[in-house]
Amino acid sequence: MSNTPYVDNQNVFHILDEKILPGQRKRLDLHTAKLFTTSSVEVPVIVERSKKKGPVVLVTAGIHGDELNGVEIVRQFLAQKMNRPLIGTIICIPVLNVFGFLNMQREFPDGRDLNRIFPGTKKGPLASRFAYQLTNEILPAVDYAFDFHTGGAKRFNAAQIRIAKNDSTLKTLAEVFNAPFTVYSSNIKKSYRSTCKQHNIPVLLYEGGKSADNDPGITKHGLDGLRRVLKHLGMLKAEFSPSRPTKPSVFIHKTKWIRAKYSGLLHVKIDIGQWVNKGEEMAHITDPYGGFKHVLKAREAGYVINVNQSPMVYQGDAVFHISRQVDDDQS
């Protein structure tokens, strides 16, 4: 029997071998492999349906197990009951990579990055099998997707949405979401975002904060944006109506990484999200003995959308991610 999700003639939602009626909510499990102890590891899938027909929205986080801020955004979304739609259906998977989450590791236990192995295979490695399940047992039902991430390796991302260029639907959704920054970014082969594209599912990828950390500001930007888009889709109940943003998202067309020329202690001198001018001091790199200081300056003007918050860096490490080209009226 096929496990492909569908809605029948009576508006009953069939998913993961369960039937969900209009107005019903259920917590389901996406089955994964067992631990060495034979204990089952399940990935909770929380489904909320309105009595009124409408879009199916999928909200996910934790595709990398150590990216806690995304998990926190979806947790608050659920805890505040924002996931109970006015119309349609909302599916939430707060922690996709439960194995990595348990061990505070980015990858699956087989060492693979789940976000580089989609759409997966039925009989491949563990991460590939899970990607296959998600692709075939969840995605066929989905109309819109929102995937929450953070920066990795102590690099802190400014709150940003990433979308592919030349997609008017994604551009409109990103404008509605209104993160401080929207970065045009090509889909990476075998990523979750690329697979959503293949299934004609508009997906907004949210980046904010860093791994193994929760930041209240990043959480607020994520929740506010999600509420704005759900309101745009007619799915958000009136009591959750978001406030109007004070300024539009800055759309960034090109970016550049600024790397350390020397190894040493890193002393950052600017704020995340800040506009810097050409020649402005951004950081100092020193040795631990007080005999050396290298001043790292901006080679060109732009917004700083990622900052390395590690206290020490090696030569060649990425220190800042800076915009190179933004929309003409936003620089």
- List, for residues 303-319, the tens digit of each pLDDT value: 999 999 999 999 999 99
- List, for residues 101-136, the tens digit of each pLDDT value: 999 999 999 999 999 999 999 999 999 999 999 999
pLDDT band at 329 (very low <50, low <70, confident <90, very high): low
Closest CA to 305 of 144, 149, 180, 167: 180
pTM, two decimals, is: 0.95
Same domain, 207 and 73: yes
Asked, as a colleague might, if the bond just before 119 is cis with ω within 30 of 0, I would say yes
Whether 172 is covered by a domain: the verdict is yes
Give percent of the chain with pLDDT exceeding 90.
91
Domain count, the chain: 2
Same domain, 209 and 279: no
Domain housing 45: 6-240
Whether 1 is covered by a domain: the verdict is no
Same domain, 36 and 64: yes
Same domain, 111 and 31: yes
pLDDT band at 1 (very low <50, low <70, confident <90, very high): very low
- List, for residues 178-206, the tens digit of each pLDDT value: 999 999 999 999 999 999 999 999 999 99
Whether 34 is covered by a domain: the verdict is yes
Whether 178 is covered by a domain: the verdict is yes
Say which CATH number the domain at 324 has. Answer: 2.40.50.100
Same domain, 272 and 319: yes
Same domain, 266 and 225: no
Same domain, 234 and 310: no
